[in-house]
Structure 1
């Protein structure tokens, strides 16, 4: 009996030892997870202001030649000669290109024979003292054939291509540039001539036209300490395939107020708004058809939809969505 008690004590002691070892091993295997403290986010902000704003554009002006004239083929045919290089300076009426006239020359020769025949008929009638009505009808035939002959001779000019004005001519550079023996269609453009007959004060912008600037828009012309006014009298659009340009032609109200030298700044004054909400353009976001800004409200970043109005170089009017004084997140 005593031996049995000893054996039981030994077994309990062994079991307790095993459990104690597992607990220590479990404690050794546990990994402490560090707790990270969140860093505070710093925002760069600007307030939405209530003030006046004017939509205006300031653009460099220059005196140039905004106009060009297209040079087209009057008839279909085949190029016989190209008389100028491209580009090159040309004068009004200078021959640029000729087309073959073989078919027309053949028609002229045939018409010339018919004209001579009807003229001989009239002479014969006179010699034979024919009836006056016969002579008169024959004379009508002569007039008709003469008109046909003159029309054919005049049409030879249609096979020549001339410079429409003084300036710089450049040949049209399409997929297949023109060469001798090229086939051409009536109305096809052979090239363009920049009209250098008169210079104009111009402003040129690329791809996107100035919004709300139209014919008759008033401008302010600044040249150093000099200042004068003018008007937009034309807008010339050109597209060369790679990019497009809008050239605004300005007519000064008093040309004598501008100097012959020095840079000219053209200021387009479009609209003015008084006491309205104004924010920096950099604060405005656009995504999925929405226009919005980020506001900082009690330390929280919040999106706010807005509707925009007129703009100047750096700022824009907010028509709805803001009332002024809001903190705009700029970064």
Structure 2
């Protein structure tokens, strides 16, 4: 009886199952996968060149010789013969002081000397005749020496009335005007020597073993387009106890007279040079916690490579290990890379446009 009741429901279930759509397949439908985009990069081969180690500091240009010209006599400035910026030679006249009073003193001293010498000549002529005592003759000789000194002093004052340059150089300052009253030791001019110049820098004592006279340096100055070459002239024999530095004097060529004493320069002092070494642009190197790395391109793929750096020279660095000559290294676009990334090597202008 129970089987008769369940039979209609079993038939209904079978019919319902037969009308359903087929079950989903275990294997999903395949769709076209998007291609992996290539990352644009710019590369440069590892090259061989010379790289130097530099110490970067600052230096001030100084004149090796400078002199303040002062008046040695008192008087009115009668003529000024040079102006600021003029080149002068040692002994060249710069100005003159009214010397008429000194010339009169010279004439007077010369006249007194002439009288004494005439008297001395007369007494010497009769001394052999025992008509003049030796004491009188000795006193007259002393008077002649004093008169001679007075004449030389008057002559020196006339000479000092002509103001001359004590050294070769350039007139840095003119401190008086025509008609001014000058007294003894009144400053009149400043003369400085501008060729060559000295560059003064101070080097930490721990770097002292790396420098020696004749070593080369390069100077960059505001207003001067090109790099100025210099070399170490001398090294101070003592260390400043207050700063722990050593004074270094550079010899700076200024034959073109474009540099001026007092100029401030950025200076690179070359310590050492490695020739025929592997070099890369600095921008190719990625700083990491444990060192440095670069991305090397091979068969269109990027791979990270740890490198050991040596000397740094401007925008170039020395590679001591990790790379071989000629390997292509990413110099731009490496910050987007990872190991095994697909890359497209393009020119720098194209890379800039894509960015």
Query: What TM-score results when the alignment is normalised by the length of structure 1?
Result: 0.43
- TM-score, normalization by structure 2: 0.40
Q: Which has the larger radius of gyration?
A: 2
